[in-house]
Chain A
């Protein structure tokens, strides 16, 4: 028997993300595989040690960049636990809504290539189209499409805009439609079934031993979801199911993700109902910010509503403490206070300027959330300074990728890429 050594990647047409897979082939069957990662190692953990707690937040967006808000959430919750602060209810509901939107975009972006790798390019276009509508919602609220940094330490960045409900409902309608279309195209498609059923099967024992969490673990039929096992935010107040697979093959992984999209939509709809109406923003006479600042120099205080820049929309003082914890020691004051009062100015200065900053008490904390790929947790060690002494991300996809070589062994070379796509490898999260 003559063996052939084939190298796939790191820059390979079918790879989304840079990973190198070296396979030993007997004909078209894989005898042995070796996975080399680290091509997107960007030194996140080291860099975080040199940034203040607030500065780390934008980096978290870029970890799992298909579900940035879930990363924000995990980080913000970890720092909040360290500080011992609680978040107002409206902020919690908003976190849930945006977290679930992020989960949907994650699963859409995962399924899109699964279809594409098997020749169904339409799936890619449908899914990305649905994602675009969801991103419009993010864009309207947060000002950014992808790297939003919306979930902040102490709450969320801004309240939702007035047309939020309509935008979101439209996005969910489009997502449902895309999911339905894809179900129709793929779920019972004989070619798709032949290519995904019984390919790269992972048993439950194997999955646990490799530390799988999230959809990939659930596809083996094991019931574990951080949202159910250790409820955070208000996940215990909404009704949703945890879809399970049967065998843990590529088809189950696809199916679990498809079903999870539907459950996430349910969570969003319930959250929208249960969330209290936000305060109505008043339409008082408007004071320009520079006038207020100028007056404050002379010790005067200008009454009336302050006109804020468009990027600060949703952060007005009327809504600020509904979306941000009222903890003056740790949380930035509303912009109105910053512009008009000395106390606000000092508080802002103390939290932002280097050498001051947010200083959590010394200690360590690990806070997990259910990320797009499983249990995503931040481990932060604080020494009482303004920067994390050590910050580590428990990346779910790292453990899953460690099993990839095992998963593809014995299968055809053509199954490598669909398997790789079905576990949703995200370089930013894997290599950090």
Chain B
């Protein structure tokens, strides 16, 4: 199925990027049916990540999905805009690596994925408070797990 058809069927909004990868915005409700459709062509889910536009946009988060079709030799980027506290459905039953990728996004941004089988922190430890890749998390705010012999920074 061509990208134009999918674009029409799901009324996606296309934007231009510097790398020439076709990029579409999708509503969060429409994500799951879209991805189910794309699954047949795009064998590999390359990446899930997010961008925090804190204070710049009304809906602060943007979840970015990157797909790769080996048969057609194209990559495809799908974006979903999310506000604070909004959830998006998980893709972990479509592509298996989505499980960990979504856990990472949850860990770093605090975006929750509906229906995820095991949504917990992956890179940081359970005691960690906050989500470091959010723009309002200070770079140097560390949260030691044990009592330190000296203070880390003067």
Contacts and interface: CB of A to CB of B under 8 A. Distances in A.
Interface of A: 37-38, 41, 43, 45-47, 49-50, 81-82, 84, 206, 208-211, 213, 222, 224, 229-230, 361, 363-367, 375, 377, 379, 381, 389-390, 392, 394, 398-399, 401-403, 431-432
A60 B152 CA distance: 25
Contacts of A38: 121-125
Contact of B17 (A365, A389, A402): A365
Interface string B93-109: 00111011100100010
Most chain B C-beta atoms within 10 Å of own C-beta, residue among A224, A390, A401: A390
Contacts, number: 96
A375 B21 CA distance: 16
Nearest to B122: A38
A82 B73 CA distance: 22
B116 interface: no
A402 B123 contact: no
Interface of B: 17-19, 21, 23, 43-47, 49, 51-52, 64, 66, 68, 70, 73, 75, 77, 95-97, 99-101, 104, 108, 121-125, 132-133, 137, 139
A365 B133 contact: no
Contacts of A229: 70, 73
25 contacts: A37-B122, A37-B123, A41-B124, A45-B133, A47-B139, A49-B139, A50-B139, A209-B96, A209-B97, A211-B96, A211-B97, A213-B44, A222-B70, A224-B70, A364-B23, A365-B18, A366-B21, A366-B66, A366-B75, A366-B77, A377-B46, A377-B47, A390-B52, A394-B66, A402-B97
Given A381-B51, A401-B100, 14 more contacts: A38-B121, A41-B123, A43-B132, A213-B44, A229-B70, A230-B73, A361-B18, A363-B17, A364-B18, A366-B66, A367-B19, A399-B101, A402-B99, A432-B123
Nearest to A47: B139
Contacts of A403: 96-97
A379 B123 contact: no
Nearest to B15: A364
Contacts of B18: 81-82, 84, 361, 363-365
B19 A366 contact: yes
B102 to A, nearest CB: 11
Given A364-B18, A402-B100, A209 B47 contact: no
B72 to A, nearest CB: 11
A38 B128 CA distance: 13
B117 to A, nearest CB: 13
B139 A46 contact: yes
A431 B52 CA distance: 20
A49 B51 CA distance: 12
Nearest to B45: A211
Contact of A81 (B19, B23, B64, B99): B19
A390 B23 CA distance: 17
Contact of B51 (A363, A389, A431): A389
Nearest to A209: B96
A239 B64 CA distance: 36
A408 B108 CA distance: 28
Contacts of A389: 51
Contacts of B68: 375
Given A47-B139, A379-B64, A210 B97 contact: yes
B95 A209 contact: yes
Contacts of A211: 44-46, 95-97
A280 B135 CA distance: 50
Contacts of B133: 45-46
Contacts of B43: 208
A407 to B, nearest CB: 12
The 7 closest A-B pairs by CB, nearest first: A38-B123, A402-B100, A211-B97, A41-B123, A399-B97, A365-B19, A363-B18
